Structure 1
Amino acid sequence: MFWNKKRKLPITDEDKVWVDKDLNWLRTEFGEEHFMEIRTVTPTKDFYERTFDRTEKDAEFILERTMELMNVRDVKIDLDFFSDSPIEMTDGTVLSSPADINGSWNSAAGTFEQSNEGTKISIETQQLRNPISLIATISHELAHQILLGENRIEENDEYLTDLTAIAYGFGIFIGNSRFQFSASGLGWQSGGQGYLPEQIIAYTMAWLSNVRNEKTDYSQFLDKSMKKYFDQSMVWFNGNEK
């Protein structure tokens, strides 16, 4: 009967195993007290008190504020900018872009670099147009600092890096930025941001909300597909023991 229908997660059992394992590893790594006190960051002035004007100053503000929220301290991080966008010349020609042979866009939203000269985060200039994407990008790059810069892991792991940013409360930004379209004079370009699919991001957020007994009203912040996967995950958690 339909009322006996088994609750189902939006992710596979195999994905649940490694996500749970990585989240519990972060819980141990950060310490129980600190892990449990982290709040979900929302796109409100409670967290980012600023009127954004799409300039590099926005990125500088977001970097400083996000470092505070992610407990990144005692390190100087330089901020740099680069452009991977195609450039249309006055004669109508278009300079080369980072597209593959199928025309798919292959551009990094940001990069993290450590060297003898210090630590640097570079931001693709198109990110300045959208504060949500910019915050998602910077939180991901700072997660690299938490994992690699603080010697928690030896080899880069982009999935774990995304999970770390989400564990620090940035799931709304990362989830809503996962897939987007940006209009330009050259047509429509798809831009996937981040490494985890929406289903895993939503499940991770629900896992954290359940463990931390959060009261955040996600429905007012999540995109339609993200909300669907998040609600599905919460239904599963509410029907199972914590």
Structure 2
Amino acid sequence: MFWKRKNKLPITEADKVWIDKELNWLREEFGKEHFNLIRTVTPTEDFFERNFNGTKEDAEFILERTMELMNIKDIDITLEYFSDSPIEMADGTILTTPADIDGSWESATGTYQQTETETIISIETKQLKNPVSLIATISHELAHQILLGENRIEENDEYLTDLTAIVYGFGIFLGNSRFQFNSKEFGWESSVQGYLPEQIIAYVMAWLSKERNENTDYSSHLKKTIRKYFDQSLAWLKENEK
């Protein structure tokens, strides 16, 4: 006799409790109608109609378009840039990134700063070469504006900030940018972007997809690993969350 295997979540019960609580809080904060009308953003011309060339003008376009998609209005945000690339000093010394023995590191891809006179988002310049990663970074930094800048929370919470960016439709970008591998002269380097693991990003997208009754074709846009977690999560939710 063959038994039907039950679907299993790729996250822990503790993770699920935290996610469900925060998502319900964000729904109350944004209003149920607005929350449910938010569309999942895909890496297509439907949302970003532009040929990207790795320029600062591209970043300005992404900032403006992402602000529109995240319903951020009546504020001017300055975009600045910094570099984590090796720097040659006047004496010939090379300052490099803080890579570990495996060639990987966790460095900031972007920062958010609010002063008395302006709001600044700073972007690591290597992001300009990767529009998907750049969109993920800018959506995360703009989520800071939604939470901190609009006084929804008093202390910074990077996990909630990632969650907010996903709620505003940018889960595909955050998920696909989570782990990145790049070739170097003497091998490969890896980097980690964002704060939430792939399993949680996938579950949140599945939760939102079911709640919003979406018809987004996630399989066409997600990388293989996170697509598997998304499918597992959605199947579990449909089976257990009536």
Partner of 1:62 in structure 2? 62
The structural deviation recorded for 1:240 is: 2.0
Q: Contact 1:80/1:122 (CA < 8 Å) preserved in 2?
A: yes
User: Is 2:111 the counterpart of 1:117?
Assistant: no
Residues 46 and 9 of structure 1: CA distance in aligned 2, closer, same or farther (over 3 Å): same
Cα pair distance change 1:109/1:186, threshold 3 Å: farther
Q: Residues 83 and 127 of structure 1: is their aligned pair in 2 closer, same or farther, counting only changes over 3 Å? A: same
Preserved contact between residue 180 and residue 191 of structure 1 (Cα < 8 Å) = yes
Question: For 2:32 and 2:206, how far apart are their aligned partners in 1?
Answer: 18
Report matched runs for 1:186-197 at 5 Å: 187-197=187-197
Query: What SS does the corresponding residue of 1:3 show, helix, strand or coil?
Result: coil
Task: Name the aligned partner's letter for residue 220 of structure 1.
Answer: S
Q: Structure 1 residues 186, 74: CA separation in 2 closer, same or farther (over 3 Å shift)?
A: farther
Report the equivalent of 1:148.
148
Q: What's the offset of the Cα at 1:5?
A: 2.7
In 2: Cα distance, 1:216 partner to 1:104 partner: 33
Normalising by structure 1, what TM-score? 0.94
The amino acid that maps onto 1:218 is: Y
The CA distance in 1 between the partners of 2:8 and 2:97, in whole Å, is: 42
CA apart distance, 1:93? 6.1
| 1:173-188 paired onto structure 2 within 5 Å | 173-185=173-185, 187-188=187-188
AA in 2 matched with 1:239:
E
Answer whether contact 1:113 1:119 (CA < 8 A) is retained. yes
Counterpart-to-counterpart distance in 1, 2:102 and 2:173:
29
Q: CA RMSD in A?
A: 2.0
Paired residue total: 242
CA contact (8 A) 1:84 1:98 kept: no
Tell me, which stretches of 5 or more residues in structure 1 are unaligned? none
Give the deviation of 1:187 after TM superposition.
Answer: 4.1
Deviations 1:64-109 (A, max 9, x none): 00000000111110000000112468x9963232336886423100
CA distance in 1 between partners of 2:94 and 2:80 (Å): 25
* Most deviating of 126-135 and 186-195: 186-195
2: distance between equivalents of 1:85 and 1:186?
Answer: 16
Kindly provide the CA deviation profile for residues 166-219 of structure 1, in whole angstroms up to 9, marking residues without a partner as x.
000000000000001122346422110000000000000000000000000100
Match of 2:31 in 1: 31
Q: Once the two structures are superposed, what CA deviation does each residue of 1:29-64 show, in whole Å capped at 9, x if it has no partner?
A: 000010000000000000000000001111000000
Separation (CA, whole Å) in 2 of partners of 1:230 and 1:12: 15
The answer as to whether partners of 2:103 and 2:189 remain within 8 angstroms in 1 is: no
1:212 corresponding residue in structure 2? 212
Output the TM-score relative to the length of structure 2. Answer: 0.94
Kept after mapping to 2: 8 A contact 1:181/1:191: yes
- Asked whether the equivalents of residues 109 and 124 of structure 2 are also in contact (C-alpha less than 8 Å), the reply is yes
Correspondence for 2:171: 171
Equivalent position of 1:203 in the other structure: 203
Aligned letter for 2:218? Y
> What is residue 134 of structure 1 aligned with on the other side?
134
The amino acid of 2:216's aligned partner reads T
Secondary structure at 1:239 match in 2: helix
User: Which secondary structure does the structure 2 equivalent of 1:111 belong to?
Assistant: strand
Distance 1:44 1:27 in 2: 26
* Residue equivalent to 2:74: 74
